[in-house]
A and B are shown apart, each in its own frame.
Chain A
Amino acid sequence: MEVVLALAVGILTASGIWLLFRPRTFQVIIGLSLLSYAINLFILGTGRLKTDAPPVIPRGAATDPALYADPLPQALVLTAIVISFATTALLLVVLLALRGLTGTDHVDGKEHDEGRKRNLKRDERQDHDQKQDDK
C-alpha cells in the first residue's frame, strides 16, 4: 500500500509540475489541481497508513491508541481541500477574464512570436502539401 501511495503521489506531482510550466492557462490550472491532489495524499500519509482503523476514540474507553488512525492529518486534508478548491475556482475566473480581455489563452496574455511563426510555417507547409495533393 505504501508503494501504491508513493507512486500515486510521485506521478501526480510530476504531471502537475510539468503542466504548471506549460504556456496555456488551462494547463496551469490542471497542473495546480493535480499538485494539490498529490499533496492531499501526502498529508494523509504523514499520519502513517492504516486500514480499517477508526479516527475517533470512544468516550471513556481506555484503549490502545495504536489501533486508531491519526485524526489530525485527516482534518488537515479537509481544510486543504476546501482552500485549494476555492483558490482554483478563483483562478478559473481570472483565467476567463484574461481570455476575454486579451483574446488568447497564453499565460502572458499574448502569443510569443516564435510560437506564432512556427505555427504560421506549419500552416504554410500544410497548405503547400494540400495544394500538391490537389494537383
Chain B
Amino acid sequence: MNGLMQHLVVTPVLLPLAISAAILLVDEQRRQLKRGMTLFAVLALIANAAMLIVMSAKDSVPTVYLIGNWTAPFGITLVTDKLTAIMLMLTGILGLATLLYSFARWDRAGPRFHALFLLLLMGVNGAFLTGDLFNLFVFFEVMLAASYGLALHGGGSARTRVGLHYIAINVATSLLFLIGVALLYSVTGTLNMADLAMRIPAVPREDIMLLEAGAAILGIAFLVKAGMWPLSFWLTPTYAAAVMPVAALFAILSKVGIYIVLRLTSLLFGDESGTAAHFADDWLYAGGIATLVYGIVGVLAARRLTIFAGYSIIMSTGTLLAAIGMANIPVLTGALFYLVSSTLGIAALYLLIEPIERHHDFDEPAPAPEPVFEDEYLAYYEDGQEDEIGVVIPATIAILGVGLAFCALLIAGLPPLSGFIAKFAIISGLLGEGQAITAASWVFISLIIISGLAVLIATTRAGIELIWSPTENSPSLSIVEAAPIAFLLSVCLGLMIFAGPTMRYMEDAVRAIGQKNLYIEATMKTPSSTQP
C-alpha cells in the first residue's frame, strides 16, 4: 500500500464532491456537458470500486486512510475492507443505471439534478468508508440533504407534501443520531470506531446501561433510514412520489442503514465485547421479523407498482435485519448476497414502472403547477419536451413483460436468478450443519418463503392488469430507458453465473468484519506518512 494506490480510498468521496461543485458552475442550458461530467464521475467511481475490490481481495487487513495525516484516534480515518468495496461497487452500479435512465427525460424536470445526484453518491460512499462516528453523521447529513433535493425533484404538490414529511422525519432522526453519539462519547471518551471497539470491553459495569442506551438510540437513527417496522411508514409514500430514477437510487439509502447496523453490531458488540456483547441481536431479529410481516402484508395489499416496490424494500430490510440478528457467518454471507441482488432487483423494478404504467390512466398529479417562488425553474414544462421519447423499440410489450418477470423472480427469490441463490444461502445457513434448529430459525425460514410467494402473487396480479390487458395506445420504450434496466438485470445474471467466486468473496468479507482485532490493528497502527 503505497504511492497513488492509497488515495483510492479517499477518491470515492472527493471525486463526486469536486465534480458536483464544478457542475454548479456550468449554466443550466448546457445539459450535455453536465451529463458528460456526471457520467464520467460515475464511471470513475465504478472503476475505483473495482480496484478496491481487487486490492482488498489480496489480504484481509482493512486499508486505512488517515485524512490530514493525523494518526487515529485523533484524526479522522477512512477504512475500506471487502464489505466496503462491495457496497461501493453496488452504489456505482446503481448510480450508473439511474443516471442513464434519467437522461431519457427526468434530469430536465428541475434544476441542478446532476449536482445533487453526485452529492448523494458522495454521502453514501462516505458513510460506507468512514471509520469515525461523528464523521459518519456528517456524511449521513450530506446524503440526506442531497436526498431531500432529489425527492423534491420535479416539483408538484404531491411531492412537496411527502417531501415535507420525509425531511421532518429525517431531521428528527438526525437529532436522535446526535444523542446516541453524545452518549457513546460520554461513556467511552472516543468516537473513532476502532478505538470504541477497543474500549467497550473495558467499560465499567455501572456504565453499561448508558452505553447500551446510547447505542440503541444511535441504532434507531439507522433503523429509521433502513425502514424497520414501525419506523417505516414514511418510506413507501416518499419513494412512490419521487421521480422513478431517484426512487431507484434511493434503494441504496436503506442499505446504508443496514450496512452501518451490520458494521457497528459486529465491531462494537461482537463476541469479545464483554458485558455488552450481542445486546441488540434479539431486538434486531424481532424487528426484522415484524418488518418482514409488515412488508408481506403491504406487498399483497399494494395496488400500484410504485407502492409494491416500496414494500419490497421494506421486506428486504426485514430479511436483512433478522439475518443480522442471527449473527452467524453463513447466514450473514447469504444476507450480503441478498442485499446486493435485492437492491439491484428493486432498482430495476422502479425503472420499469414508468414505461409500464405510462399508458394506463392513473390519477396522476396535475403537471405544470404554478410556480411558488419567483425564480423557480420551469424550463421542463416550457420546453414542451415531455413527449420526446427517442427511438422506439418494437415489441415493447414483450420486453416490458420479460423485464417485469425478471424483477419478480429476483425479488421473490425463485430459481434460476440470483435472488434464489441468496435466499437459498440464507436458509441453508439457518438450517446449519446438523445442529438442532431453533424456533427463531423456523419462523424466519417460513417467512422468507412466504415473502417470496407474496411477491409472486402481487407481481402476477400487476402483470395481468398492466401488461395483458389491452390499452388504446401501445406503450413505448426508448433505448435510453431500456438499456439501464437491461444493465441492472444483466448484473444480476452475472451474479448468478459467477455465484461461486462472489459468494466466496462475500464470505471472506463477513468473516473479516467479525475479526475486530484486524480492524483495530489496522486503524490504530497505521503510521502517519512521512512523504508530503
List A residues at the B interface (Cβ < 8 Å).
20, 25, 28, 32, 35-36, 39, 42-43, 45-47, 72-73, 76, 79-80, 83-84, 86-88, 90-91, 94-102, 107-109
Number of A-B contacts (CB under 8 A): 100
B7 at the interface (CB under 8 A from A): no
In-complex Cβ contact of B164 among A46, A91, A100 (8 A): A91
CA distance A39 to B191 in the complex (A): 17
Q: Are A97 and B172 in contact (CB under 8 A)?
A: no
SS class, residues of chain B in contact with chain A: helix
Contact: A97 with B145, CB < 8 Å? no
Contact between A20 and B172, CB atoms less than 8 A apart: yes
Question: Which residues of chain B (125-163) have a CB below 8 Å from chain A?
Answer: 134, 137-138, 141, 144-145, 148, 152, 156-157, 160-161, 163
- How far does the alpha carbon of A33 sit from the alpha carbon of B21 in the complex, in Å? 29
**Cross-chain contact A79 with B157 (CB below 8 angstroms):** no
Q: What CA separation (Å) do A83 and B381 show in the bound complex? A: 33
Tell me which residues across on chain A come within 8 A of B164, comparing CB atoms. Answer: 25, 91, 94-95, 98, 107, 109
Tell me which residues across on chain B come within 8 A of A20, comparing CB atoms.
Answer: 168, 172
Chain B residues with CB under 8 Å of A47's CB are 186
Q: Assess whether B468 is interfacial by the CB under 8 Å rule.
A: no
12 A-B contacts (beta carbon < 8 Å)? A43-B178, A76-B182, A76-B185, A79-B138, A87-B144, A87-B167, A90-B145, A91-B167, A96-B373, A98-B161, A101-B156, A107-B168
User: Once bound together, how far apart are the Cα atoms of A115 and B191, in whole Å?
Assistant: 47
- Contacts of B157-198 to chain A: CB distance below 8 A: 157, 160-161, 163-165, 167-168, 171-172, 174-175, 178-179, 181-183, 185-186, 191
The answer to whether A84 touches B161 (Cβ under 8 A) is no
Known contacts A32-B168, A32-B172, A109-B161; decide if A42 and B181 are in contact (CB<8 Å).
no
Instruction: Given A73-B182, A76-B134, A79-B138, answer yes or no on A101-B172 (Cβ-Cβ < 8 Å).
Output: no
Contact present for B373 and A97 (CB under 8 Å):
yes
Residue B157 contacts which of A28, A101, A107 (CB distance < 8 angstroms)? A101
Q: Is B372 an interface residue (CB 8 A)?
A: yes
Q: Is B274 an interface residue (CB 8 A)?
A: no
The answer to whether B369 has its CB under 8 Å from any CB of chain A is: yes
